Structure 1
Amino acid sequence: MALVPNDLLDRLPELSDDPTHPSQIAIRTYGLALSLSLGPSLIPFLLSIITRRRSQKTGLAALRKVLRRELGYDGFAFAVTVAVGGGAALRRLWESFDRDQQRKKRSSWLSRLNNRLSSCQKTFIANVLTSSLSILLLSAGRRRSERLRNIPRPGALPIPYTWTPSNPNSNLNPNLSSSPSPTLDLTLLVLVRAIDVALQSLITKFTNKPEAEVELAKGKRSNKEKVKLTTRLDALVFWACSARIMWCFFYEPQRLPSTYVKWIRTLAAVDSRLLRALRLIRSGEWTYSRGSSAHASLLTTYAKDLGYPSTWGDPLFVGHRGVPCELVHGGTGSMLGLDASCTANAGIRGLKAFLEAILVYLPAHFIPVLITRPQVLLRPYRVFTTLLSTFRSAAFLSTFVASFWASVCFTRTLALAPLFPSISHEFWDGPLGCILAGCLMCGSSIWIENGRRRGEMALYVLPRAIRASLPDGLVKSRKGIVLMLERLTFMLSLSTLLTAAIHKPESLRGLSRWGLSFIMSGPHAGFWQRRRRNFETRPSTPRRIDTPSPGTPEADQHQPSS
């Protein structure tokens, strides 16, 4: 007798209601990872539908490539699910094995070895095994995407390439063999979060209060000493990383991701010719004493476009005085007749950055509240505090921009250069002069930002600063030993994060704590419930105490002793 569809559905295994079950963890992981990877990729297609502007990059063929890349077995979402959900499944199987061994009381060498491992160590080993498979899937998917992107279009001339046995990447396009590993940025991101877990655990250990004080401070997430030390470390990390990133933006932009360079260029509003001149000064090809025969018109056309005499951009004409600050300002404040004012340049750029930051931070602060706790926006106090946080973040970014430009003008025009006239202006306009001063000063604006966001900002810039500090040969190398080292770093770092989410959740913070708490324990985890209690005011109800019936053992236990 054939089974009807309803009978088939009844025979399917039911999904466990336990939020910590591996199947539940896998579903949440895949959903969250897919939204992070596929969501941004679909934005250009949605915009093309809204604006009705079709192109080859937003056509049906491009959409199929995006869906194949993200929904495939080697896509980001599936690979991360293998690591997280697979680790949870292995841990559950290991626990059932332990119970079976205890019930049968076996004493084999495997049982003795298993008994020596703690629960935390078993979780870490399970996560290492699944993370190794995850990074292999990710690498395969990224390599396939690279090959598809570099396939020449119909009618294009093929790139000649000769195979050599000594080249381990001979099957790849020569452009790929000299490009960074496609999983490098993800590896650095996970590594930084794992280092933060270790650092937070260390800080907690050294700032732990005695038991009596802990009882008095019960309910608080961390003591004052931990918060104070963490805040200072976050500010120091952000300051150092932002200085390195900004210096690389001016002199070695190839060390930074192209999207990051584009974002900084938009925020800084610096003409490409001025950036080129700064790099030529660093290499010695453009000097105030000898000029530059190969790039003589680089800044003369720039000065002419701004409405100034072309001679202002001639290095031999300006001589030891250096190019006027009007060229450095780039015409900022010219509509108000303040293009020569260094104060106006820093202030106008800071104000413009503040208004642009409002448009960025407003949805960043309100969208999470609308998704998780929309009812709190009915309270004027919550709306006011959210707006205040938005203005505070915008003030941080505007101060970052304004302090950079103020430091540049202070060094080359207002104070230091006039104070030491014997020093050539090539030094003040060089990599150790005004640009270095601006890079060192702008990061101090992090103290304006909220303490918790300060830590998240530090963790955001640290992976980029690490990449910008690695040697070019190591970053662009795809030799076996380098790839093996990167994969090992990814495996150990991701395993550390997943293990901490189960055994040391207090060592996580920011997005790591939010995301892993949701993945491992569901939306009703203790962390999420505490967040709700912080934002919701519920009427207190008396706790019901069930009185045991007379004559029961429970009642006898509650009877006062005579």
Structure 2
Amino acid sequence: MELRGAASSKGSPDTRSILTSTMAKISTGTSSPRKSSFLQLQSIPPPLRPLVRAYLLGYASAVLPRLLTLVLQHLSNRERKTPNYALPERDENTFLESAKHVLKTGLDPCRFPTFCAALVGGATLLQAPLNKIITRAATNLGSVAKLRFLATFVSAWFSLKLLQSKKPTLRRRAGSSTTRYVDPATGKKLAGRTVDLTLFAATQAIDVIVGELWARHKGRRLAGQKWTKVEAFISQMTDPVSFVASCALIMWAWFYAPDNLPRAYNKWITSAAHVDIRLIEALRRCRTRELSYEKETGQAHLLGTMCTDHSLPYEWGDPCKTIPFPCDIVHMGRGPSCEYHAWRRFWLSWKWSMYTYLPLALALQLRKPNRDSLRTALLSAARSSAFLGTYITLFYYGVCLGRTRIGPHLLGKDVACRQKIDGGYCVGVGCFLCGWSVLIETANRRKDMALFVAPRAMATLLPRQYKMEVQWRETLAFALSTAVVFTCARENPRRSESVTPVEYVGYNPFPVNNFIYKVALSSPATKEHFTRAGHQTCAVLPPLTGESTVIVRLSNPTSMGMNNTNRVENEVCAMAVAREAMASVEGGRYDSIVPRVYAWKSTRMMAGDAPEQGFGWIVMEYMEGEVLDMLFGDMKWDEKKRVIGEIACIFAAFQKAKLPQRVELHGGMTVRDGDIVSGQATMHKGEPSGYVGLWKARIDHALEQADESTLINGWKGGVRERIEKFKNYKLGVLIHNGEVDSTLLGLVHNDFTINNMLYNPHTKRITALLDFDWSSVTHPAHEFFTSFHDVHGRVDEASEKLRKAIFSGDFGNHPDEGEDQEAWKLAKTWDDALKQHGGKRPCDFKGIELLQGLWNFVYSICPFELGSKVMLFRRSKKESEAAKERVEGQISKMLSGWGV
């Protein structure tokens, strides 16, 4: 199997930019059609639909949570028989009036629904009028992108001004502040009510810009094969480190500046912390020196009463008598052990979190229930609860580490050091440690979590109220950030959420055959996006629901020994033929194991072409499963035997694949005038021909490579002449006399191995047959020269006795004592399974031993060890010359055996 995703050192182009170009070329659509639904708004003119849809969604998000709260309050009050329907905006005495008020306030033109409509609708509707006035200055963005940016900027500016113009009502719930955005000294209004929304937009814009720059940098480094372990580590740790830094700022603010956090978020942290607020207050006063050790400041009652409540001595809370106050107080009466307290914190927090996460996880599984839904929901909820439990545990254990375990040993144990430790150092350790719990979550969720906490962390560094005179700065920041995010999202509607190299080998020194990427799309791609699917030969329509994940294969034109003439066409044709053959197996049981092809483009590397123009590519179906090769070795024998039987069943059907009518010659396949016809092979150059002509083309290709080898430099000393003589005069006679049936013609995969199969360990079934890049149309016996080595079904086994058994199909003779018993067992099982399922075995082909000899002969003309520059570089000159002499002797011996 080829190495996938690794970059070539031979001047490979930026594969990331090619991938972006490829995904743009497969579609001209702008949105994914859905099944008919209310939000499609079919009766509304298309230009107005984004505006109306945004308003409805904004109204629902603003009103429904408040209505739900009102209903819950109503039910609770009915049980207590004490009606109280007070809302933040208005004190009402009846449930219906309160509900009516909620629905009415959502329609206020200065509320969130209007903001959404103005932002989304303006970004769409303003493009046409702005097109007449925009200045098309030189820029990297196209004119459409400039219009989107400007239209979004204008609409974002005025939509935020709408929210900012809303006058705060003075009728509030009892105990809440009515003067938060009024300067108490002057009575003037203060700005800042929309700062959380602005910071959210700003962090999203920063993520888009930094992410795009890093993606381009990574693409260039991968293409040049300069991607280092340090860069890979940075890429992997950026989201966790961002989360850690944000959480450190948030937790520090929660401790010492809670007003810098959004009120609801501050309340939620306090609820999750489950801590006696007197402890928090004591640590705050330690920082301000309002509570000082060895000084009578009248603070003994603060922790003294807490000690009494937790059955601890009152004196432990007196800073004049106890220096420092013991960790028993921090543990709130759970004993002196910091480790036991940490474990108790984790367990209580985990249980508390499960009450929240488990219902949500179960609700998500109800969308597409299956037999694993309950298990998936439990594991997801348990993982998220473990994250939150670890977060809380690390924070409190960090405080203990700073106070008792590590801090005093590093800073000192005198009173001044104790004051510093309790005055901020211990809290700082907890703030630093807690965020690392994000490593428990999956890598995909870490990014979302980092983006969630980042704006809240930024809010701790900025004032939440400021003078109205500088409000334009916030509005500008919001408008610019929103314009960046909207333009990036709309410029490429299928902008991928993630692009993951498949089986990437970062330090492979050899040019690889393909760059393969798994692309997760931000919205499902349907037939409207794959504009050529259904019309392009071998390309099929995606499912009606669309594809959210696809595989993109970029054929590397610099890969060693590959013929790019019709390489992509050959692969998609082979996949189409194989897919049709699989449909006949056991009533269509395997009709979906060969990926669907949705779009493809030929390799056309002409002089002067940009890589995006010349690269060949295929966009195909993403197949679920694990690489069988990674699982097979650890399977028990019964499961191995069953898997081998399944492979034999699939291969037997593959052998019976019906070739298209116009595929009549040996070589490969291509597309001409919409039909699949005979074409050149991928593994060697030469026009399609008869069987003898195929072998001649293979010899010519090998000689061409030998001419390019700096070591072989074209075979000298009469070797080249003998090879040519054999090709021209002896080859055809040899094949004829060997009773080889040259009329046999079939599809050959050429890499039919468990490394190219995916497997579902739960259903215990093969789910995919992959990698048709080396496929050819030729004598079916050739499959056994290149495939099945992992089940010992290839005919070039090291053991001569095993080779004879494979050639003859007779495994009656037991292996010798020194031979590989497992290899014999696998080879016999494979041979028996293939026979059982009606497949052709090596022993069924006349002259196969002769063909195997020819195969070895062609390979010897320019073997990898003599043709690869990397291999020659790794060896000394003496070693290389010795290898050349050995190979030359092998060639001479084979030619002599054939009478040349």
- TM tier relative to shorter chain: 0.7 to 0.9
User: Relative to 1, partners in 2 of residues 1:51 and 1:150: Cα closer, same or farther, differing over 3 Å?
Assistant: closer
In the TM superposition, residue 462 of structure 1 has moved relative to its aligned partner by 0.8
Name the CA distance, whole Å, in 2 between partners of 1:539 and 1:175.
Answer: 77
User: Relative to 1, partners in 2 of residues 1:195 and 1:211: Cα closer, same or farther, differing over 3 Å?
Assistant: closer
Is 1:427 equivalent to 2:449 in the alignment? no
Number of the residue aligned with 1:325: 327
In the TM superposition, residue 262 of structure 1 has moved relative to its aligned partner by 1.5
Name the CA distance, whole Å, in 1 between partners of 2:360 and 2:232.
Answer: 24
Gaps of 5+ in 2: 1-39, 499-520, 531-541, 552-588, 599-659, 661-670, 679-900
Number of the residue aligned with 1:287: 292
Instruction: Find the residue that maps to 1:424 and give its secondary structure.
Output: helix
User: Relative to 1, partners in 2 of residues 1:328 and 1:455: Cα closer, same or farther, differing over 3 Å?
Assistant: same
Name the CA distance, whole Å, in 1 between partners of 2:376 and 2:313.
Answer: 50
In the TM superposition, residue 488 of structure 1 has moved relative to its aligned partner by 0.9
Number of the residue aligned with 1:344: 340
Number of the residue aligned with 1:273: 278
Name the CA distance, whole Å, in 1 between partners of 2:73 and 2:365.
Answer: 29
How do 1:45-64 and structure 2 match up within 5 A? Answer: 45-53=70-78, 54-57=83-86, 59=92, 60-64=96-100
Tell which has more relative contact order, 1 or 2 (C-alpha 8 A, sep 6+). Answer: 1
Q: 1:448 aligns with which of 425, 434, 440?
A: 440
Is 1:69 equivalent to 2:105 in the alignment? yes
Name the CA distance, whole Å, in 2 between partners of 1:291 and 1:259.
Answer: 37
The one-letter code sitting in structure 1 at the alignment partner of 2:459 is R
Bigger Cα Rg: 2
Is 1:147 equivalent to 2:176 in the alignment? no
Instruction: Find the residue that maps to 1:340 and give its secondary structure.
Output: coil
User: Relative to 1, partners in 2 of residues 1:330 and 1:19: Cα closer, same or farther, differing over 3 Å?
Assistant: farther
CA displacement 1:9-31 (0-9 Å, x = unmatched):
xxxxxx98599943332233223
Name the CA distance, whole Å, in 2 between partners of 1:179 and 1:428.
Answer: 37
CA displacement 1:200-254 (0-9 Å, x = unmatched):
111111112699899xxxxxxxxx9998644411111111111111111111111
CA displacement 1:490-522 (0-9 Å, x = unmatched):
111112221111114566759xxxxx967x999
Is 1:399 equivalent to 2:428 in the alignment? no
Q: 2:381 aligns with which of 367, 386, 390?
A: 390
Number of the residue aligned with 2:312: 308
User: Relative to 1, partners in 2 of residues 1:24 and 1:417: Cα closer, same or farther, differing over 3 Å?
Assistant: same
The one-letter code sitting in structure 1 at the alignment partner of 2:254 is F
Aligned Cα root-mean-square deviation (Å): 4.3
Q: Is the 8 A contact 1:303 1:309 kept in 2?
A: yes
Number of the residue aligned with 2:163: 138
Q: Is the 8 A contact 2:86 2:173 kept in 1?
A: no
Higher helix content, 1 or 2: 1
Is 1:412 equivalent to 2:417 in the alignment? no
CA displacement 1:411-439 (0-9 Å, x = unmatched):
222343256334632122111x2111111
The one-letter code sitting in structure 1 at the alignment partner of 2:244 is W
Name the CA distance, whole Å, in 2 between partners of 1:275 and 1:85.
Answer: 47
Name the CA distance, whole Å, in 2 between partners of 1:538 and 1:177.
Answer: 74
In the TM superposition, residue 401 of structure 1 has moved relative to its aligned partner by 1.0
How do 1:31-46 and structure 2 match up within 5 A? Answer: 31-46=56-71
Is 1:495 equivalent to 2:517 in the alignment? no
Q: 1:477 aligns with which of 462, 466, 469?
A: 466
Q: Is the 8 A contact 1:350 1:401 kept in 2?
A: yes
How do 1:71-470 and structure 2 match up within 5 A? Answer: 71-91=107-127, 113=136, 118-141=143-166, 144=167, 146-149=168-171, 177=188, 181-208=192-219, 229-293=234-298, 295-318=299-322, 321-331=323-333, 333=334, 339-370=335-366, 374-375=367-368, 377-380=369-372, 382-417=373-408, 420-422=412-414, 424-431=417-424, 433-470=425-462
User: Relative to 1, partners in 2 of residues 1:301 and 1:555: Cα closer, same or farther, differing over 3 Å?
Assistant: closer
Name the CA distance, whole Å, in 2 between partners of 1:367 and 1:213.
Answer: 46
Q: Is the 8 A contact 2:496 2:522 kept in 1?
A: no
Gaps of 5+ in 1: 1-14, 98-109, 160-168, 215-223, 334-338, 511-515, 548-553
Taking structure 2 as the reference length, the TM-score comes to 0.47
In the TM superposition, residue 406 of structure 1 has moved relative to its aligned partner by 1.6
Identity of aligned residues (%): 29
Taking structure 1 as the reference length, the TM-score comes to 0.73
Q: Is the 8 A contact 1:249 1:261 kept in 2?
A: yes
Name the CA distance, whole Å, in 2 between partners of 1:324 and 1:112.
Answer: 69
Q: Is the 8 A contact 1:407 1:438 kept in 2?
A: yes
Q: Is the 8 A contact 1:203 1:226 kept in 2?
A: no
Name the CA distance, whole Å, in 2 between partners of 1:149 and 1:538.
Answer: 68
Q: Is the 8 A contact 1:19 1:25 kept in 2?
A: no
In the TM superposition, residue 467 of structure 1 has moved relative to its aligned partner by 0.9
Q: Is the 8 A contact 1:207 1:225 kept in 2?
A: no
Instruction: Find the residue that maps to 2:320 and give its secondary structure.
Output: helix
User: Relative to 1, partners in 2 of residues 1:94 and 1:112: Cα closer, same or farther, differing over 3 Å?
Assistant: closer
User: Relative to 1, partners in 2 of residues 1:191 and 1:284: Cα closer, same or farther, differing over 3 Å?
Assistant: same
Aligned residues, how many?
A: 476
In the TM superposition, residue 353 of structure 1 has moved relative to its aligned partner by 0.9
